[in-house]
């Protein structure tokens, strides 16, 4: 993947990664080791904290904060996963000073007003209720809880019961505990110079101190197996298969290539079997999720309720065939080309690149360019071996019918 040199520096313990990307815009990703894995006794706490980042600070109320972001004209958003909260914005180069000031205001000075907290808690609970009505999400959550124990066992957003128990002081303590410089990486990608980026970061992120990052709570992988989920109201059958994967970057990337070959694109094994040969499933998906010490490959499909067992047999048969026969050379070369294309898209997207760089530094994962080089050098034998190893390990298959 083409791109200019990546520069790194520190600001009072805050790790900063910079990459020049010529053009009129600059993207910023402020990524904090504060995901749902750190919720402790309050599942959904990190997600609730993310919502409160936009509800006002010591200097800006909710309206003023969001108007300020709108004045900058850029994408201002946040997202919570199991490992981190990412706060992002993309603006014109000349507005970088104001954008960093806004992110710093949220990072250091978010205020948990009880009235706004209660309103936002209701919003989050409605969000959870909406997902409860989605059978595909339900079977995914059942599969996830069947594979993971410990700090990953609950959904990122928590449950209605757990969110109802969260109080304003819980969010305030969470932000104080997790939002500090050792837990944070700031990525800046765009058309500004390294010298200007360095000066502005030091101007706005000067309140922290060096130290050790928070250690994530432990993850447990359960024995796995087949879970049958009953739903009398659904006319469809939904299937999700989770495959525990070794999180070492090279092994993870090898499984990622295999997942592309097996998965959801029209030329893949699973799509061709379920959609084209059997006419079973309209939607087929294949994704990879990961953290510093865990990773999981996800295969999902749906079919008519009467075809649930046929769907299950077809998916398992594709998994068996690909472990026994491996992958054809022309299929592998076509998949490599698709992956190179996705890396090229990433190289052209400032915001996605900033997020990838920040997460890579935070969790010690290769940069996108380094990951692409690893993928290019993976042999067919290595890709097939890692796929076999993953499927021989811990897996959970959940079928809702």
pLDDT (tens place) for every residue of the chain, 401 residues total:
445 899 999 999 999 999 999 999 999 999 999 999 999 999 999 999 999 999 999 999 999 999 999 999 878 999 999 999 999 999 999 999 999 999 999 999 999 999 999 999 999 999 999 888 889 999 999 999 999 999 999 999 999 999 999 999 999 999 999 999 999 999 999 999 999 999 999 999 999 888 999 888 999 999 999 999 988 777 899 999 999 999 999 999 999 999 999 988 889 999 999 989 999 888 899 999 999 999 999 999 999 999 999 999 999 999 999 999 999 999 999 999 999 999 999 999 999 999 999 999 999 999 999 999 999 999 999 999 999 999 999 999 999 98
**pLDDT for 133:** 82
60-83: b (≥16 Cβ within 10 Å) or e:
bebeebeebbeebebebebebbbb
The pLDDT score that the predictor gives to residue 239 is: 96
Contacts of 396 (CB under 8 A, 6+ apart): 143, 146, 147, 222, 224, 225, 226, 227, 241, 242
Cα angle 20-22-348, degrees, rounded to a multiple of 5: 85
Supply the pLDDT for residue 3. Answer: 59
Q: Residue 171, Cα to own-chain centre: how many angstroms?
A: 22
10 Å CB burial of residue 313 (0-12, 13-18, 19+) is exposed
Q: Residue 230: its pLDDT value, please? A: 86
- CA pair distance 142, 137, nearest whole angstrom: 9
Pairing of strands 6-11, 395-400: unpaired
pLDDT value, residue 70: 93
Question: Residue 202 and residue 105: Cα distance in Å, rounded?
Answer: 14
Compute the distance between CA of residue 76 and CA of residue 164 in angstroms, rounded to an integer.
27
User: What residues contact residue 215 under an 8 Å CB cut-off, 6+ apart?
Assistant: none
Helices 380-392 & 329-348, crossing angle to 10 degrees? 90
Pairing of strands 395-400, 225-229: parallel
Question: Rounded distance, CA 378 to CA 332, Å?
Answer: 11
Q: What is the structure's pLDDT at 1?
A: 42
236-244: strand order across its sheet: 225-229, 395-400, 236-244, 294-304, 284-291
| Strand bridging mode 184-190 / 14-20 | parallel
In angstroms, the CA 401 to CA 398 distance is 10
Whether the Cβ atoms of residue 213 and residue 359 lie closer than 8 Å to each other: no
Strand partners, 29: 88, 187
Which domains are assigned to the chain? 6-204 (3.30.830.10), 223-400 (3.30.830.10)
pTM of the predicted protein model: 0.94
In the 8-state DSSP scheme, what is residue 273? I
Smallest CA-to-CA distance from 365 within 132, 157, 101, 185 is with 185
**Alpha helical stretches, state H, 73-181:** 96-109, 114-132, 135-147, 160-164, 168-178
Task: Check residue 4 and give its pLDDT.
Answer: 83
């Amino acid at each position: 993947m083409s791109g200019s040199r990546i520069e790194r520096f520190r600001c009072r313990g805050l790790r900063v990664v910079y990459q020049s990307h010529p053009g009129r815009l600059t993207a910023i990703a402020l990524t904090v080791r504060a995901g749902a894995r750190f919720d402790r006794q309050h599942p959904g706490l990190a997600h609730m904290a993310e919502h409160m980042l936009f509800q006002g600070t010591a200097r800006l109320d909710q309206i003023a904060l969001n108007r300020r972001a709108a004045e900058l004209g850029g994408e201002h958003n946040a997202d919570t996963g199991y490992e981190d909260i990412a706060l992002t914005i993309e603006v014109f180069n000349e507005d970088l000073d104001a954008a960093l000031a806004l992110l710093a205001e949220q990072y250091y000075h978010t205020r948990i007003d009880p009235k706004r907290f209660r309103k936002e808690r209701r919003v989050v609970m409605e969000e959870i209720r909406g997902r409860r009505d989605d059978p595909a999400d339900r079977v995914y959550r059942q599969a996830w809880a069947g594979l993971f124990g410990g700090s990953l066992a609950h959904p990122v957003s928590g449950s209605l019961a757990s969110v109802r128990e969260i109080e304003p002081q819980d969010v305030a303590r969470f932000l104080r505990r997790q939002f500090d410089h050792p837990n944070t990486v700031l990525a800046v990608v765009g058309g500004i110079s390294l010298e200007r980026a360095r000066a502005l970061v030091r101007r706005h992120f000067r309140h922290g101190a060096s130290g050790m990052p928070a250690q994530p709570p432990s993850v447990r992988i359960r024995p796995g197996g087949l879970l049958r989920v009953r739903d009398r109201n659904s006319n469809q059958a939904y299937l999700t298969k989770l495959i525990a994967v070794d999180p070492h970057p090279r092994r993870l990337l090898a499984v990622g290539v295999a997942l592309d070959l097996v998965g959801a694109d029209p030329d893949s094994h699973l799509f061709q079997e379920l959609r084209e040969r059997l006419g079973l499933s309209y939607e087929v998906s294949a994704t990879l999720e990961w953290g510093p010490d865990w990773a999981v490959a996800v295969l999902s499909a749906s079919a008519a309720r009467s075809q649930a067992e046929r769907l299950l047999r077809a998916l398992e048969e594709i998994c068996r065939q690909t472990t026994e026969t491996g992958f054809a050379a022309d299929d592998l070369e076509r998949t490599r080309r698709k992956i190179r294309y996705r890396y090229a898209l990433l190289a052209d997207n400032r915001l996605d690149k900033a997020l990838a760089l920040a997460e890579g530094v935070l969790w010690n994962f290769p940069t996108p360019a380094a990951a692409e080089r690893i993928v290019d050098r993976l042999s067919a034998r290595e890709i097939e071996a890692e796929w076999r190893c993953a499927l021989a390990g811990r897996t959970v298959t959940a079928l809702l019918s």
